[in-house]
C-alpha cells in the first residue's frame, strides 16, 4: 500500500515545476548541467533559480489558458432593447469599454 504525504520530500527524477510555469524562462544547453532558469515572480535581480523547484505558491501552468486568452475567445451575450433581440457577440466586435464592464443588477 502506497501512502502519499503532502509537503513531503520530492521523489528523485520528478521534473521541476519551472518547466511548466508561465512565469519562468528556461534555457538548456547541450550538456545536462547547462541550464538556466529564471523566475518572473521573484524580486528583481534575484530571479535565478539554481535548484529544481518542487513546490511554488506562484506556479501557473502553461497548459491552461490565461485570463486574457479566455477573454479573447469568449462570446459576450448582449441584448438590443430597440430590436428586442438577445444574442452573442464576438469580443472583437465590441469596444474595450463594452467588453469588460458588466452592468449592475437593479
The secondary structure of residue 100, as a DSSP letter, is H
- List pLDDT tens digits, range 19-76: 899 989 999 999 878 889 999 988 777 788 888 888 888 888 888 888 778 877 777 7
Cα distances from 66 to residues 14, 18, 32, 95, in angstroms, run 25, 17, 31, 21
Q: Where are the domains of the chain?
A: 14-64, 67-100
- List pLDDT tens digits, range 82-98: 777 677 777 777 777 66
pLDDT at residue 99 greater than cutoff 60 = yes
The answer to whether residues 88 and 80 touch, using CB atoms and an 8 Å cutoff, is no
Calpha distance 24→6 (Å, rounded)? 24
Amino acid at each position: 500500500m502506497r501512502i502519499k504525504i503532502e509537503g513531503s520530500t520530492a521523489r528523485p527524477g520528478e521534473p521541476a515545476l519551472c518547466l511548466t510555469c508561465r512565469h519562468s524562462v528556461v534555457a538548456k544547453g547541450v550538456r545536462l548541467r547547462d541550464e538556466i532558469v529564471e523566475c518572473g515572480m521573484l524580486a528583481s535581480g534575484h530571479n535565478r533559480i539554481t535548484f529544481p523547484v518542487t513546490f511554488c505558491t506562484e506556479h501557473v501552468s502553461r497548459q491552461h489558458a490565461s485570463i486574457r486568452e479566455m477573454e479573447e475567445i469568449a462570446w459576450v451575450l448582449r441584448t438590443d432593447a430597440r430590436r428586442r433581440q438577445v444574442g452573442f457577440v464576438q469580443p472583437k466586435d465590441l469596444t474595450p469599454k463594452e467588453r469588460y464592464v458588466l452592468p449592475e443588477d437593479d
